């Protein structure tokens, strides 16, 4: 049974209809007894509504797929969903937009070089350095940290992911064991 959650659903009603989602909401810092909407709950916790809906939909799909084993594999499922969301939402966006921004920088420099050349060249140098750092960060996440998760046919395999996370890159959501 596939479920699709929407932003105006009441948190408490979701838990009544889908008890396994209480754990998901709790992990995100949302009170499963909240009488507000998902939009309100996401806003109160500083989460995007899109992220919250994605997590709820995917955990529901995983629970439907693996049934009772979902509780035993919850941490892996939850982290796998978050990783998939990060890659699809943020990595893809940055990989698309950063080259476009660099191209725009070049156009601005070409157009305004005579009046602002030195400043624009300095900004371009800073941007290129920033872009290289972000691209390296994305590659490290995908090739070192995230590769230990294989999302194949609804199965998620984890290998000590949290032990490898560098200290300066803490998850924004506190995951409780």
Same domain, yes or no, for 62 and 80? no
Q: Are the C-beta atoms of residues 105 and 124 closer than 8 Å to each other?
A: yes
Q: What is the mean pLDDT of residues 111-138?
A: 94
Domain final residue pick, 25, 49, 70: 70
Asked if residue 174 is part of any domain, the answer here is no
Helix, strand, or coil (residue 24) = helix
Domain final residue pick, 25, 41, 70: 70
Asked if residue 63 is part of any domain, the answer here is yes
Same domain, yes or no, for 15 and 63? yes
**Domain interval for residue 107:** 74-164
Same domain, yes or no, for 80 and 42? no
Residue pLDDT, tens place only, 60-94: 877 665 555 555 566 667 777 788 788 888 899 99
Q: What is the mean pLDDT of residues 84-105?
A: 91
* pLDDT at residue number 157: 46
Q: How many domains does the chain have?
A: 2
* Contact partners, residue 87, CB within 8 Å, separation at least 6: 142, 146
Same domain, yes or no, for 85 and 143? yes
Same domain, yes or no, for 81 and 50? no
Same domain, yes or no, for 90 and 124? yes
H/E segment holding residue 99? helix 92-140
DSSP 145: I
Same domain, yes or no, for 83 and 134? yes
Buried b (16+ CB within 10 A) or exposed e, 123-132: eeeeeeeebe
Asked if residue 1 is part of any domain, the answer here is no
Same domain, yes or no, for 61 and 95? no
Average pLDDT score, the chain: 80
Helix, strand, or coil (residue 157) = strand
Same domain, yes or no, for 65 and 78? no
* Confidence category of residue 153, pLDDT binned at 50, 70, 90: very low
Domain final residue pick, 70, 95, 115: 70
What is the pTM for the complete model shown? 0.57
């Amino acid at each position: 049974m596939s479920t699709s959650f929407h932003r105006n659903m009441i948190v408490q009603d979701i838990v009544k209809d889908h008890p396994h989602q209480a754990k998901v909401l709790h992990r995100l810092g949302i009170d499963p007894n909240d009488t507000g909407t998902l939009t309100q709950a996401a806003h109160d916790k500083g989460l995007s509504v899109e992220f919250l809906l994605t997590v709820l939909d995917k955990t529901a799909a995983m629970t439907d797929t693996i049934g009772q084993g979902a509780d035993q594999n919850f941490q892996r499922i939850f982290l796998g969903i978050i990783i998939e969301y990060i890659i699809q939402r943020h990595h893809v966006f940055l990989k698309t937009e950063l080259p476009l921004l660099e191209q725009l920088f070049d156009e601005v420099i070409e157009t305004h070089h005579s009046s602002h050349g030195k400043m624009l060249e300095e900004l371009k140098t800073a941007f290129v350095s920033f872009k290289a750092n972000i691209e390296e960060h994305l590659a490290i996440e995908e090739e070192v940290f995230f590769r230990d998760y294989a999302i194949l046919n609804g199965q998620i395999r984890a290998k000590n992911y949290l032990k490898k996370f560098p200290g300066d890159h803490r998850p924004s959501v506190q995951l409780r064991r």
